[in-house]
């Protein structure tokens, strides 16, 4: 909050303030829309990210500890795709997940499909993802049986 008060000298470099994802999207997204072949959901996410730090999302009013004034701070987008907003949420999520872990060794197994099947799977996600989940369970049971 010190950066909001003009009475406090800030050691931050203001030249990098304009190099944020939201500023870059605001600058270039309108010109690139005709080149992007994105669905409605992805376009909504991009526009939401672009709105971060603008009056479109509102602002918070802070009472300054350094002067008798109140300072406005624009709200961030809070989107899970935003690198600025995601950091705090990621740490909170990780903390919560870590607290729920059992004191055992965990293994992460990856099931990889041949690249030739990528377009098939992407075109039929609702049908094929459940099959992949079943394959994962079968593989886990197979490994469990082999260890006995």
pLDDT at 9: 59
Rounded Cα distance between 109 and 95, Å, is 22
Matching residue, tokens 């197994």? 109
What does the pLDDT read at residue 89?
79
Alpha-carbon gap, residue 93 to 95, rounded angstroms: 5
SS3 94: helix
Q: What is the CA radius of gyration of the chain?
A: 23
For residue 61, give the H/E element and its range.
Answer: strand 59-63
Phi then psi dihedrals of residue 28, to 5 deg: -115, -20
**Between 106 and 114, the higher pLDDT residue:** 114
Taking the C-alpha atoms of residue 79 and residue 84, their distance in angstroms, rounded to an integer, is: 9
pLDDT digits (tens, 9 = 90+) for 42-96: 999 999 999 988 888 888 888 888 888 888 888 888 888 888 888 777 888 889 9
Give the integer Cα–Cα distance in Å for 52 and 23.
Answer: 8
Please report which helix (H) or strand (E) contains residue 30, including its range. helix 21-32
The residue-averaged pLDDT of 128-133 equals: 88
Q: What pTM value is reported for the model? A: 0.52
- pLDDT value at residue 1: 46
């Amino acid at each position: 909050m010190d950066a909001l008060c003009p009475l406090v000298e800030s050691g931050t470099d203001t030249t990098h303030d304009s190099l944020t994802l939201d500023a870059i999207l605001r600058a270039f997204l309108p010109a690139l829309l005709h080149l992007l072949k994105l669905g409605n959901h992805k376009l909504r996410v991009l526009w939401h990210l672009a709105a971060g730090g603008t009056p479109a999302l509102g602002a918070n009013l802070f009472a300054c500890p350094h002067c008798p004034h109140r300072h406005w701070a624009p709200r961030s987008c809070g989107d899970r795709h935003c690198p600025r907003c995601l950091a705090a949420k990621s740490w909170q999520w990780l903390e919560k997940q870590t607290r729920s872990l059992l004191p055992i060794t965990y293994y992460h197994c990856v099931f990889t499909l041949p690249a030739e099947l990528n377009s098939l799977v992407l075109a039929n996600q609702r049908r094929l993802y459940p099959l992949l989940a079943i394959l994962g369970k079968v593989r886990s049971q197979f490994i469990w049986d082999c260890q006995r």
